[in-house]
């Protein structure tokens, strides 16, 4: 999916076009005010959830990480785990 960044003013001026792109192209929009993302417009998920017998097909259709992104993701997880202390729980 493509993510576009647009100002709140531009989103308001072209709201119908933004919604059409979300609906028909799957485009996601980050709405920016100043330098901060304040909202996102994304396609709605399936209504009522996904029937269990369709779950495998849904998972198979999800985008996959390429080898580089996968390696970066694994490194991020390992760095996060290395920073955690097993004897401390943040919400205790």
Domains by residue range for the chain, with CATH: 3-43+52-83 (3.40.1620.10)
Tokens of 6: 């647009």
Q: How far apart are CA 75 and CA 4, in angstroms?
A: 27
Model pTM score = 0.50
Give the pLDDT confidence of 36-73 residue by residue, as tens digits.
999 999 998 767 777 889 899 989 999 888 999 999 99
Any idea what the Cα angle at residue 68 is, between residues 62 and 70, rounded to 5°? 50
């Amino acid at each position: 999916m493509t993510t576009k960044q647009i100002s709140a003013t531009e989103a308001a001026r072209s709201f119908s076009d933004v919604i059409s792109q979300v609906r028909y192209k799957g485009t996601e929009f980050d709405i920016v005010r100043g330098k901060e993302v304040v909202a996102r417009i994304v396609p709605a998920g399936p209504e009522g959830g996904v029937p269990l017998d369709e779950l495998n097909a849904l998972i198979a259709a999800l985008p996959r990480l390429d080898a580089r992104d996968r390696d970066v993701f694994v490194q991020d997880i390992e760095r996060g785990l290395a920073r955690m202390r097993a004897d401390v729980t943040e919400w205790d």
